[in-house]
Structure 1
Amino acid sequence: MTDLQRRLGVTDAVLIGLGSMLGAGIFAALAPAARAAGSGLLLGLAAAAVVAYCNATSSARLAARYPASGGTYVYGRERLGEFWGYLAGWAFVVGKTASCAAMALTVGSYAWPRYDHAVAVAAVVALTAVNYAGVQKSAWLTRGIVAVVLAVLAAVVVVCLGQGSGARLDVGSDASFGGVLQAGALLFFAFAGYARIATLGEEVRDPARTIPRAIPVALGITLVCYALVAVAVLSVLGPSGLASAPAPLADAARAAGADWLAPVVRVGAATAALGSLLGLILGISRTTLAMARDGHLPRALSAVHPRFAVPHRAEVTVGVVVAVVAAFGDVRGAIGFSSFGVLVYYAVANASAWTLTPAEGRPARWVPVLGFAGCLLLAFALPWVSVVAGVGV
């Protein structure tokens, strides 16, 4: 069996995107972004949001035109040529594999810090099993995860806005253009989950209608949540306090006098990381499936389970690789490395969208141009270690 089954509707697709975006990114990326941008953190968030919007629009139009698993790997191959499709697919698989390991280790560090690597491996094994049992079960689990994360984020926002100071939101002399760009690149890590919707092109009902609706809805909800959380936490801790916070949301809750909320935030962060990890494994396995079909990865990985209708060999392979990396790797630096790979992936998506004709649903001309330029600008604004490692891989 080589074909997937169309089981997901608009709500399922939106929730899978939310589960991927409302993951550990907002819990983990705020502090390094604040170190880079200082009081310009919110400007960095705005830059990430603009680039994410362009990427999402281009991806949605392409997904409606090419409703197949693989996302930008397929779009680049069809619109630009074999090399560009392969570049996008490779950047996605490698960058997101590192991101999977980072999310797994985040689960471990919040749930049981003393045994974080062991918990990380257990989380990967458990979620790989859920994905193996079928994409519909993944969507059901994601509903619960999204509900928990939204409740925790809402509690943090309410508590912090009640005690925060608007003066801490002012942009001061510590903010630089380069710092804002680097913060935008780091915060882009927290927005990148909408790719999971596009990679499910063969598993959504009526993809030409479902995907273009689901991507902007998921991105819009995420942007509102992130903006509220960033303003709330910044108003309590200030730029310097946020930059040095090991657990920004939990520390902000304590600073606002809500010590009871800190352990709840830890549970929320672990749950968010689980949701992100679930969506990541789902997306990587679908891109692996598409590349295996074309012979760019071993063709054995293109098999689809006759009962569960999932690319089971691709999912198990991805799970094993991520488990090994999580067992021996380090979460530090993974955000930058992952962001570089994903920004390259979306640069190819925007270049592909530029070639669409009006009859094919081409977006406004400025969207792919701004998206392409923004992706490259943010990618090379990352710390040099992430850039060198990303270019090398």
Structure 2
Amino acid sequence: MRKPPTTAGVPDELQRRLGGTDAVVIGLGSMIGAGIFAALAPAAQAAGSGLLIGLALATVVAYCNATSSARLAARYPASGGTYVYGRERLGDFWGYLAGWGFVVGKTASCAAMALTVGSYVWPGQAHAVAVGAVVALTAVNYAGVQKSAWLTRAIVAVVLAVLAAVVVAALSSGRADAARLDVGDDATLGGVLQAAGLLFFAFAGYARIATLGEEVRDPQRTIPRAIPIALGITLVVYAVVAVAVLTVLGPEELADAAAPLSDAVRGAGVDWLAPVVRVGAAVAALGSLLALILGVSRTTLAMARDHHLPHALAAVHPKFKVPHRAELLVGAVVAVLAATADLRGAIGFSSFGVLAYYAIANASAWTLTPAEGRPARIVPVLGLAGCLVLAFALPLTSVISGAAVLALGAAAYGVRRTVAARRS
């Protein structure tokens, strides 16, 4: 195996400015918001009263992925996440495929989060607001990763306060009924698996911690600690909110809800809280978008360094110490998608790409030796199997489009290698 990459003496080196708390907060900003405001309704539509079982399955897969990612990130503390791990442990092609799946899938996630902001802030002009949000957050990221971490910290605090208010309002109302949590005949195995795949969309934020590995202080200690902490907090929040919403709305009403948390507080008879929830949803989506742009730009940087993408994108700003060209390109592409794309259609497509990304992460973790910090063998096995099962349990359109995009990336890799071989 190759030795862990280092950046010592490299002119385009990023600076290690993020501590453990910053890393946890960035992970929370990625996870809390994206799924809790967007994925509950389609998951309930797929699984009905089996929604909580789907959440539990997504939790198991997310834990395995987080553990594998944490061990790999400690071994390879460089920007790029599974792109780097797959390349170092499995070979250039698998690293490239992981990076391709991440960049494409998460670019779609960025557009989805931007459109969520627009839908809550100004529904009649959702696309215009979405583009404005992308431009503003790209500018924040351009100014430096430490500023992004501080903004994410504020966003997470606001979102957690709003979610706490929703839970208290729902569970303390006279309309909450625990019987709505019972699993009925509407829950099928296929529906539960599909719900788990859709809910996984919300748990994937811990990848942002790993992709920022080159900007974290003492990454061998910080990253393995930050990932499970961020994931654990998110899981507790998601479970409590899902239970609260289900006890008020029930699975059928939740499945039809355009804004589940707003509908839940109205159903609980606390109408005055609905506008607050709308603001919280917009702030949550902004936090997710901020962290997503960070992660996609860093993977773009890593791929550009290896010439899988134009090498000009590997440049690091001399003052702000960020991959400014990569961030500007990602921001431009996301702005175009936010102006033209459909919100719900992006979730399944993104989930397929991210599950493929983590399948490669688990396969990479399997190759670690005990001396390299390998997790228990069952962890990468369950993670790999879970990722593949959930990916192909997604809606058929998501599977077809996601597989087609991965195949396109593989073909591009083959063409590039053929051209390079002929030149040599």
Question: Under TM normalisation by the shorter chain, which class is it?
Answer: over 0.9
Rounded to whole Å, the distance in 2 between the matches of 1:378 and 1:261 is: 35
Match of 2:4 in 1: none
Name the counterpart of 1:218.
Answer: 230
- Which residue identity is paired with 2:336? V
Give 2:85's aligned amino acid: Y
Q: Give the aligned partner of residue 284 of structure 1.
A: 296
Alignment of 1:39-50 (within 5 A): 39-50=49-60
Matches within 5 A, 1:235-246: 235-246=247-258
Residue 227 of structure 1 is aligned with which of 239, 242, 250? 239
**Structure 2 counterpart of 1:251, from 258, 263, 269:** 263
Cα distance, 1:360 vs. partner?
0.1
Counterpart residue type for residue 74 of structure 1: V
Query: Within the alignment, does 1:193 sit opposite 2:205 as a pair?
Result: yes
SS across alignment from 2:30 = helix
The CA distance in 2 between the partners of 1:332 and 1:216, in whole Å, is: 28
1:273, distance to aligned residue in structure 2 (A): 0.3
Amino acid at match of 2:83: Y
Question: Counterpart of 1:27 in 2: which secondary structure?
Answer: coil
Which amino acid is the alignment partner of residue 346 of structure 2? Answer: A
Give the number of the structure whose alpha-carbon radius of gyration is greater. Answer: 2
User: Partners in 1 of 2:359 and 2:92 — Cα distance?
Assistant: 16
- Residue 154 of structure 1 is aligned with which of 164, 169, 174? 164
Q: Name the CA distance, whole Å, in 1 between partners of 2:184 and 2:341.
A: 37
Note the C-alpha offset of 1:260.
Answer: 0.6
**Alignment partners' CA distance in 2, 1:23 and 1:69:** 24
Query: Is residue 115 of structure 1 aligned with residue 125 of structure 2?
Result: yes
Aligned to 1:4: 14
- What is the alpha-carbon distance in structure 2 between the residues aligned to residue 299 and residue 22 of structure 1? 34
Matched, 1:57 2:70: no
1:76 matched to 2:86? The reply is yes
* Residue of structure 2 equivalent to 1:347: 359
Q: Distance in 2 between matches of 1:330 and 1:40?
A: 27
Q: Deviations over 1:118-153 (max 9, x none)?
A: 100000000000000000000000011000000000
Partner Cα separation in structure 2 for residue 287 and residue 378 of structure 1: 24
Name which of 28, 36, 44 aligns with 1:26: 36
In the alignment, the residues of structure 1 paired with residue 387 and residue 344 of structure 2 have an alpha-carbon distance, to the nearest angstrom, of 22
Partner of 2:213: helix, strand, or coil? coil
Q: Number of residues paired by the alignment?
A: 393
Q: CA deviation at 1:332?
A: 2.2
| Counterpart-to-counterpart distance in 2, 1:233 and 1:202 | 39
- AA paired with 1:323? A
Q: Distance in 2 between matches of 1:106 and 1:95?
A: 17
The separation in 2 between residues aligned to 1:188 and 1:161, in whole angstroms, is 25
TM-score by length of 1: 1.00
SS of the equivalent of 2:270 reads coil
Decide which of 18, 23, 27 is 1:17's aligned counterpart: 27
Shift of 1:328: 1.2
- Aligned residue number for residue 382 of structure 2: 370
- Tell me the equivalent position of 2:145: 135
How far 1:25 sits from its partner (Å)? 1.6
What is the rounded CA distance, in whole Å, between the counterparts of 2:283 and 2:339 in structure 1?
19
Question: What 5-or-longer segments of structure 1 have no aligned partner?
Answer: none
Deviation at 1:23, TM superposition (A): 1.9
CA distance in 1, matches of 2:343, 2:249: 24
Aligned equivalents of 2:236, 2:259: Cα separation in 1:
21
Q: Which amino acid aligns with 1:154?
A: A
- The letter of the residue matching 1:115 is Q
Does residue 312 in structure 1 map to residue 328 in structure 2?
no
Cα distance per residue 1:333-391 (max 9 Å; x no partner)? 11000000000000000000000000000000000000000000000000000000000
Aligned equivalents of 2:170, 2:202: Cα separation in 1: 21
- In the other structure, the counterpart of 1:390 is 402
* Cα shift at 1:24: 2.7
Calculate percent identity across the aligned residue pairs. Answer: 82
Shift of residue 246, structure 1, vs aligned partner: 0.9
Match of 1:298 among 310, 318, 330: 310
Distance (Å, rounded) in 2 between the aligned partners of 1:11 and 1:249: 28
What is the alpha-carbon distance in structure 1 between the residues aligned to residue 258 and residue 14 of structure 2? 42
Native 8 Å contact 1:109 1:116 kept in 2: yes
Residue number among 204, 216, 227 corresponding to 1:204 in the alignment: 216
Say if 1:24 and 1:270, in contact at 8 Å, map to a contact too. no
Secondary structure of 2:344's aligned partner: coil
Task: Name which of 277, 283, 302 aligns with 1:265.
Answer: 277
Displacement of 1:33: 0.2
Report the CA distance between 1:27 and its aligned residue. 0.6
Amino acid at match of 1:108: G
User: 2:287 is matched with which residue?
Assistant: 275
SS in 2 for 1:28: coil
Which is worse superposed, 159-168 or 57-66? 159-168
Alignment partner of 2:115 out of 105, 108, 113? 105
Deviations 1:297-330 (A, max 9, x none): 0000000000000000000000000001101111
Q: CA RMSD in A?
A: 0.5
